[in-house]
Amino acid sequence: MIRVVAHISARPERIADLEALLRSLIEPTRKEAGCRRYELHVNNADPSEFTFIEEWESDAALDAHLAAPHLQAAFPRVPELCMAMPDIRRYTLLA
């Protein structure tokens, strides 16, 4: 299993727009083959910071997710909505 933690920081004036975009990814992603968990969180101390916590059956399933049409449609909006590119990290459970 592959776990992903993706941190995304909104431009202060675009928090609501980014949240709406991120929420729109949840339902189609949860229907994807290999998706075990896909949760969106917001930082209680800073509402401009969002984090996805994900679990995927394999690297191949995650790669397919990253190529999915709904995600590809969202990527071009990153520069207008985000302070920087999302920090997306893959993890494998060791113990």
d(CA 19, CA 50): 8
CATH number of 2-92: 3.30.70.100
Given phi > 0 = left and psi -120 to 50 = alpha, else beta, which region is 6? Answer: beta
pLDDT tens profile 77-88: 999 999 999 999
Spell out the domain ranges in the chain.
2-92
pLDDT tens profile 26-41: 999 999 999 999 999 9
Give me the pLDDT at residue 59, please.
Answer: 95
Give pTM, 2 decimals. Answer: 0.94
